[in-house]
């Protein structure tokens, strides 16, 4: 584990919403941005226009930023035990950073603490 990375467990109550690139930069044509935490449903509603059906790959428009596939895993039935949203879009670094910035902005708008981490390089 990288220094500074936090460990999140199912036993710990959710405190914030985290947003991070889940794929390494510059490695492929598709990138995944993953969100986890209590603000995920509200972020999905605003960014995608609706919360995707649980555990089903859904074609979605990520606002005016990109189009791709969205996957939603509602709490407590996700790997983290929290609400999780994965956005699978084009792998360009500008798009990935724009998606992360938009998600952070939306999380702040719903008054939920947010942190942003980049994937390890």
Name the 3-class secondary structure at 1: coil
Select the more confidently predicted residue: 11 or 56: 56
CA distance 27 to 59: 23
pLDDT tens digits along 66-120: 999 999 999 998 888 899 999 999 988 999 999 999 999 888 877 544 455 554 4
* Burial tier of 103 (Cβ tally within 10 Å: 0-12, 13-18, 19+): buried
Residues 6+ apart with CB under 8 A from 6: none
Residue 10 belongs to a domain: no
Place of tokens 């995920």: 40
How many structural domains comprise the chain?
1
**Domain membership flag for residue 37:** yes
In a domain, 57, yes or no: yes
What is the distance of C-alpha 15 from the center of its chain? 16
Q: Report yes or no on 39 lying in a domain.
A: yes
């Amino acid at each position: 584990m990288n220094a500074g990375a936090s460990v999140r467990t199912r036993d710990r109550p959710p405190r914030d919403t985290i947003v991070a690139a889940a794929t390494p930069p510059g490695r492929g044509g598709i990138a995944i941005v993953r969100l986890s935490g209590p603000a995920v449903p509200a972020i999905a509603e605003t960014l995608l226009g609706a919360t995707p059906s649980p555990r089903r790959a859904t074609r979605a428009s990520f606002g005016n930023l990109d189009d791709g596939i969205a996957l939603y895993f509602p709490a407590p039935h996700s790997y983290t035990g929290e609400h999780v949203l994965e956005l699978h879009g084009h792998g360009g670094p500008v798009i990935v950073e724009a998606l992360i910035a938009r998600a952070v902005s939306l999380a702040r708008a719903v008054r939920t603490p947010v942190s942003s981490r980049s994937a390890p390089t």
